[in-house]
Amino acid sequence: MIIGSISENKEIEKRISITPDLVKKYISNGFGIMVETGFGSHIGISDDEFIKAGCKIDKKENILKQSDIILQLNLPEEHSLEFFRENKILIGNFNSNQNLEKIAKFKKNKTSIFSLELLPRITRAQSMDILSSQANLAGYKAVVDSFAEFKKAIPMMMTAAGTISAAKVLVVGAGVAGLQAIATAKRMGAIVFATDVRMASKEQVESLGGKFLVVEGSENLETESGYAKETSEEFKKKQENLLIENLKKIDIVICTALIPGKKAPLIIKEKMIDEMQSGSVIYDLAASQGGNAAYTKMDKIVQKNGVTILGEKNILNKLPVSASSLYAKNLFNFVLNLYDKKNNKVKINLEDEIINKTLIK
């Protein structure tokens, strides 16, 4: 069987879905591999590296025609459909709730589409979990970038000339990205606070050295899949009062709160930002889904009353090598779960929860 991948639109996506080290692993499992000319050149991976690993380099049209399985980050452009023969398999991160019409056009061609943001949160799926692997990097990078924007030192420094206080960081949302943000900020010497609607996060936050801000009378608002639920109006009001008081002393806010398939909840409101200290920084990782903070604009730096608000559509474009490495490994593990090596064919076993949940029906 042939596995192929074509270049993404590099203006919006710099990650790649196959790396040279994984080409060898695919080949050892019986696959042939094809990638487009210049596939990884923008992140410093030459065609020669792919060729040495055993990969075939070809033009986009030939890859789409010859591949049995196509690995991507985003859905290919619709004009690519003319090169799709029936019964191909397309695997990636396709934001299925937002791209139903486009996905339907590919499905008309009897393409089996697997979108890995739909993976169930079970132990066996952890090695395929693209949301966790990418969120981990996003949480780290958000802290690094916000600290670079902050005009003061982060750790406490005691000198003969006087003492510089440690920066105070608040992380909103203690999922994978939030926990990595807490760990990174703590390692760099900040005093870290965190809040989340899931009470189960409290122990995790405290294990990383953060202080968990508890909303009075809160309950555990967590789905069976481990994601945050949408909160009640009463909870939102209590959370708002808690944040208003705490944000007055916070230097840096990292926003990571998302609800799968829905607009991001607005948590840091205008009046809260108005009362923050001048020179404070907000990094909104939820910018692509509307943002957790008022005034957030994708790919723009906004200044409001001395507060700097940052939000990017795809922060992982700043870490494309690391992000590609992890994403490509997630895809590799998913493909192996699909593949019947003995009979050299893909087996779409709908009794397998991983396959059943990710196949767009």
Question: CA 285 from chain center: how many Å?
Answer: 9
Q: 227, 277, 325, 352: which is the annotated catalytic residue?
A: 227
Distances (CA, A) of 277 to 36, 246, 251: 50, 11, 7
Strand partners, 283: 254, 310
The answer to whether 327 is a known catalytic residue is: no
Q: Which of 7, 115, 129, 239 is catalytic?
A: 129
Q: Round to whole Å and give the CA distance between 126 and 330.
A: 9
CA distances from 80 to 28, 58, 65, 76 (A): 29, 15, 10, 6
Catalytic site includes residue 187: no
Residue 227 is among the residues annotated as catalytic for this protein:
yes
Give the span between the Cα atoms of 209 and 10, in whole angstroms: 38
**From the candidates 66, 121, 145, 187, which is the catalytic residue?**
121
Annotation marks residue 129 as catalytic: yes
Catalytic residue among 72, 132, 201, 322: 132
Task: Considering the candidates 41, 98, 126, 232, report the single residue annotated as catalytic.
Answer: 126
Q: Is 132 a catalytic residue?
A: yes
Where in the sequence numbering do the catalytic residues fall?
Answer: 121, 126, 129, 132, 227
